[in-house]
Chains A and B, each alone.
Chain A
């Protein structure tokens, strides 16, 4: 049993911290992290609760492999009802915080209520207490982390916190740990801010000593690490080029959403790509990229650490941004770049640094900027309203908007609502490139058809990490399929969605799935966790988690009508590239997907499906 079997319940209204036993029956059915925390959340809150009210809860959870020898076993998840979407929110992060939570002896922390004043939770192994955070309120994630470590005279404390974006309840605020890793999507940081919870600081020294069969676990994790090492993607490509290697590929196949999805190819894609990050700059002769980086226990090390051009207009008077720091990863580079038509790599890194510093999801922020720029080009927004001329491609506008949004000033308050609310306010809801209120990531579903279905049915709104069919449709992992056809995509999307739920719930990184299948993960879980963890059971657990999340969203008021895409993607054909003339064929895929899922034509799990999965 790799679970610690202990939960910490923190009632912020009362100011209390209480230990509870983990529900082991639920652990047996939902594994951990995403699945298990979602089970707790759904069992404890009204699905129609206001996400930013004290009645909503927020859970930080590890999985059974978190903190263990399993490669990438450093993940933790923040689960809550999301303010951006009103759907279940489940954001996953790497770094070192998750493993530290496990080392302190906790599977999960459940936050409920709302503190009357700003507080932070300090955990030192079994001791847990809420402390005053009035001196931290108003500080960035970076300042908060530094202050807490300094205050406790312990640089090894691991911290998750919110910045000004979370305090101001930017609806896509994230929770940042270890300076530049984040539970990034769906606005989990806004929920934390609504509870007056500034940070969680943990020091754990207990290790993870409760693995079921340690020799078998050592063998299973060692075998699996060899698979990662020997695989060209996880052993070579990701460490050297990171996720950013996708920029040119996705552009080449005509699926790089550009200028708020007006176009599917970006003429400056090569300037903001992984290859460009390796090139020496003309200004100072140094490459943008400094090195790669790994999260706890990771043997892939895909993270990017870069150094911005000190002479760039964004930072020439701000030395605090001159040091090496996190980014750019592909999603951020796309959202801050191609989505707005900005081809200035340094400007993108500046915006990315602000997102890390103040805790904002760069995907939703960048996509919202793209929507604002389109409204500006249509003459609906003006430079007087925004505070700067904001045509597509303006690095100056991007820099100004990220500064305004992070601190909640001027037009930044409107950008902080996300693209759906912004576009609706100005009379053009159709220009929000989102599903269920959450903005798309970096793949245009006219050029990658399966992703349209994956976005439309994602339980947390548009997202690539719930069913990454790009792996198959573009990259040939595990097998190559045609990105331009809808044939076979319902089955493919379901398979990716269910398998990903298992990876997430185990406490490992989904990037291992570029080399591992569930058959590589199963022996690790089997050796770590008590009980039967066969392949059949893991497949069932993944499907159960997906259906449970769906049931919550249905109870929250979502229907099959919300499994939709903006009309731009279903009525405006791609203008260039291999998908030229194509729109997304969601109408062909969705009915078949419901059948494959065992759902009614209205998108409700049938009684047979509910019974089969024990929901």
Chain B
């Protein structure tokens, strides 16, 4: 039989990418957790029979990139290839063999064609609750963080394991939602499998070997070309952030060799006693992501394109936490990896990387309990929200306002959040003045204010950083504004950890701004006037930071009164 042409392989590669996109879309459409269906905290991928990742959907979660790539190999080892059968679905939430914390459920489905195992589909989703203490930083070990599901069968030849479902139902706060999400995960792999078999039939393929080699050869070659074009040198970078018990310093040494880039985290702080530690696989994903953005943005993720990015961290540094370290909020450290890597990369490739930004997502989870005054039938509820501060300014353009970087998840619509539980979001809007000044301005952070409906009290589990360590400006740019959090009666609160809020009280938060890039004196005057008209900067800042004349400020005010754009 003739092997398919390069053009046919090109079509198949594109098709595989579109299959995983459809797989991810099916998960969004069928999921129950708002983190999945509204925010897109999920990933989906297709693998060859050896467990090597062929394609991955571009979703909101660069943190899943390498974790997903490695995960299927663990499933093959634990389940045993010879015991796999059509209709099987496997799952785990092992932080070290999945994607970094118990709240991520990974499901893997073997794909059989004419009785032969031809590949796998895997997907991961962040569920709102997995039992234990609830999503937050407070655990002292992974045992307190929730129900642990080792790699095991969810469905055996099509039969869903009812014992597993009973155990799951008995251990979590929102059992219907979690069980629904488990089905959604199985469903999305099934969709991928169907499309894959259609493609195999259409191109009359015996298996995926040919297309796998085509994908890997082209991806590897393209990635190595990019690396070979870089100066062969070493640079180091570091950044300090709040942490929980004590500030964390992340250190990185970046070494560019002919055919690989080594990221070495030696010198990074040790473990935190609380749940913000990060398994290596998750830190590695963000190091890779940061480097790919700067060096090879258009090369799709797969086993070969990720291979040249090597990451090392000594055991039990905060970026290589081992079992049983608590890891629920591993995203906080993970999301700061790119800014740390860029501190080093800026010394090798100037004028490419942005100034520091908000970094980690500004998330919080609300646990609501009915009071005696609650209406009949009132229930407890868990509400999780994802939010973003400002991104760092770029060498040529301003930082993005209230936009996630490096994470790519979406925020949940306020209306969807308020349907998820008896919570009220009283404010969610831009935070003027929070972007670092500079030739390019840092992105604005945002304000949020939350409370419970009448008849409920709540705890808030805060997952905020940059309270004491705002984003640092680059090349003369100013720092972004730091995070603040307090009750509306003025009582200060902590950036991290579960804190109870008295009935009738709200929590006010201001999420951090991104840092500026370059000297503010070099900023374009028209851009300053626009910032002032939109209220991104105050009159004071226009006068003091950017030397705008009082006359120009009056001009801007007149334009606003007259409803004219500027």
Q: Do A and B bind each other?
A: no
A-side residues, CB < 8 A to B, are none
